[in-house]
Structure 1
Amino acid sequence: MIEQEHFEVIIVGGSYSGLSAAMSLGRSLRQVLVIDSGLPCNRQTPHSHNFITHDGEKPAVISAKAKLQVDLYKTVQFYNGVAISAIKTENGFEIKTESGLSFTSRKVLFATGVKDLLPEIKGFAECWGISVLHCPYCHGYEVKEERTAIIANGEMGFDFAKLISNWTKDLRLCTNGKSTLTLEQTKILNKHGVQIFEEEIDSFEQKEGYIKNIIFKNQEKVAVKAIYARPPFEQHCPLPKDLGCDINEQGLLKVDAMQKTNVAGVFASGDCTTQMRSVAIAVSTGSFAGAVINKELIDEDF
């Protein structure tokens, strides 16, 4: 039960970045409300990696422990729900929730992540985050030297193949349609033993999210243990754009070195701001954003 309507800071998004910001602000004695729907983008991922002291931990365990620790700071409150509107007011911001409740604050931090737009390949969604991976730094070690595929084309496919070849040489590039690689890129990939498949993908044969075979539309099968893909994405939350926050050409919220958007009083951190999508980066940017917000409040009041 939320006992007040006005806060110094509202954080929209209560996963790793939002919780890290909340801890910084709670330790700064700030009145904070964290609004979160409880649906992080990595909820299907079995293990989180490359985050020191938590390597191999389940993502849900990390966030649950973080929330328990943040909850010890009595100036931080949590609201389980969805923020559906954000309005700039004379004294700050008003955030309205799906339930009809409204809260106001002087500052707002969006730590809302992004929504992956998964391709309509049967089995892709079931494997996403389990054996279909987006980041070798997060998951590459666990599938090192395994039979691996990349779904990409053109320049991105070429660069992605170069990157993943660091973890495995048993590599194939699936362009999911006619290759747009240059002749020179094709020669280089062939030289390094990367097989190129141009046939369109029909489905994945998988069990409980673990890929067994890629099945092409010509019914050819290719056995693999892991796939890398970078599907397009969009901002998970439309409210920053509603407030006038700029979005860059990659679809990410534009922030400066202080995690500030172009709208005064509005900050953003975590996956909604960076192509480096990892728990460690989310925690880092959230913690920093919390400190910057506190300093801005101090400067305004002193």
Structure 2
Amino acid sequence: MANEQAYDVLIIGGSNAGLSAAMLLGRSLRRVLVIDAGKPCNQQTPHSHGFLTRDGETPAAISAIAREQVSHYPTVEFWADTAISATQVRNGFTVTTAGGASVSARKLLLTTGIADIMPDLTGFAECWGISVLHCPYCHGYEVHSQPLGVLANGETGYELATLIQHWTGKLTLYTNGSSTLTEAQRQTMEQLHIPIVETPVAALEHNAGQLTALRFTDGTRAHPTAIFARVPFQHHTDIASQLGCAMTKNNLIQATEFGETNVPGLFAAGDTTNPFRQVGIAIANGSKAAAWINRELITEDLQQRLQLAVR
């Protein structure tokens, strides 16, 4: 099913970065279509922090307010669907969705975010975003000065532990097996009074995602209020690779400050381009990308008008 409407901009992903871009483009009188599958990575997180005027609000509430406000702009449309493929054509891009639709636009903006890959550890996924935390700037204040843990090993464990110790003097590093820290890193942990527990973790015991205990394979337990951890991720879609996007060494889409990728006309913003994963940063990314997209559209339209005038 082909959509006869040709859009100025097609945005794939309707969370913070996508909605921010859609608002600015709507205010720029651009015809915009937002395709969103409704699977934000923070959907399990009970509260979002650090975003001015909405500190402590749920991510779902922030998105609902944003979408309602963006919907006031008549040139912005929304589809509840999943984009599965894209091709670059003469005048832009054509995208196909899981629902069988095909739609074209002059510019394409990827704000698809990422999907976290949970480890095979009982209780971890249920606690993720609630009491198993990834970002102290998002959640550290709520658990500061309490018994906390870092569940990681090697360089990641060391980096996280030295970061989290700023929020609490009651921190333990759980390496979930034999430590791979260097001797120098071990000495730093000792100087910071951060114990290292190497016993493998069997499960995270919890009550509705709120951690009650770390249970180890030897039957013993520890009782941190929360733990910090990092997990691998994957992209929700391979459209970036389909179109030949360059990726960073951390498997994020390589984009400029204004969202430009190495593919002309293709932009990216939000969590799919940077590791910060904060609402405010995603919104800023979306706005900057939208402004640059609109600038390109204005330049292209002006060049076309001048060429026609010469004829």
Contact 1:92 1:104 in 2 (8 A): yes
Query: Cα RMSD over matched residues?
Result: 1.1
SS in structure 1 at match of 2:291: helix
Contact 2:258 2:285 in 1 (8 A): no
Give the number of equivalent residue pairs.
301
Contact 1:176 1:201 in 2 (8 A): yes
CA distance in 2, matches of 1:108, 1:122: 40
User: What's the CA shift string for 1:106-126, capped at 9, x where partnerless?
Assistant: 100000001111101100000
User: What's the CA shift string for 1:234-259, capped at 9, x where partnerless?
Assistant: 22221111111111111100001221
Q: Which residue of 2 aligns with 1:138?
A: 138
Contact 2:3 2:101 in 1 (8 A): no
Q: Output the amino acid matched with 1:199.
A: T
CA distance in 2, matches of 1:7, 1:200: 54
CA distance in 1, matches of 2:111, 2:213: 36
CA distance in 2, matches of 1:5, 1:140: 46
Q: Output the amino acid matched with 1:163.
A: L
Q: Which residue of 2 aligns with 1:229?
A: 229
Q: Which residue of 1 aligns with 2:177?
A: 177
Q: Which residue of 2 aligns with 1:8?
A: 8
User: What's the CA shift string for 1:142-174, capped at 9, x where partnerless?
Assistant: 000111110111122111111101101110111
Q: Which residue of 2 aligns with 1:208?
A: 208
Q: Output the amino acid matched with 1:19.
A: L
Q: Give 1:107-256 correspondences, 5 Å limit.
A: 107-256=107-256
Contact 2:51 2:280 in 1 (8 A): yes
Q: Output the amino acid matched with 1:244.
A: G
Contact 2:3 2:102 in 1 (8 A): no
Whether 1:46 and 2:78 are equivalent positions in the alignment is no
Normalised TM-score (structure 1): 0.98
Q: Which residue of 2 aligns with 1:32?
A: 32
Q: Which residue of 2 aligns with 1:65?
A: 65
SS in structure 2 at match of 1:5: strand
CA distance in 1, matches of 2:36, 2:108: 14
CA distance in 2, matches of 1:109, 1:210: 36
If you compute each CA radius of gyration, which structure gives the higher value, 1 or 2?
A: 2
1:20 is displaced (CA, Å) by: 0.1
Unaligned runs of 5+ in 1: none
Identity percentage over the alignment?
49
1:275 is displaced (CA, Å) by: 0.8
CA distance in 1, matches of 2:172, 2:123: 19
CA distance in 2, matches of 1:238, 1:82: 12
SS in structure 2 at match of 1:38: coil
1:5 is displaced (CA, Å) by: 3.0
User: What's the CA shift string for 1:183-234, capped at 9, x where partnerless?
Assistant: 1211111221111111221110100000011111222211111010110112
Unaligned runs of 5+ in 2: 303-311
CA distance in 2, matches of 1:131, 1:236: 24
Contact 2:19 2:66 in 1 (8 A): yes
1:41 is displaced (CA, Å) by: 0.7
1:4 is displaced (CA, Å) by: 4.8
Contact 1:5 1:102 in 2 (8 A): no
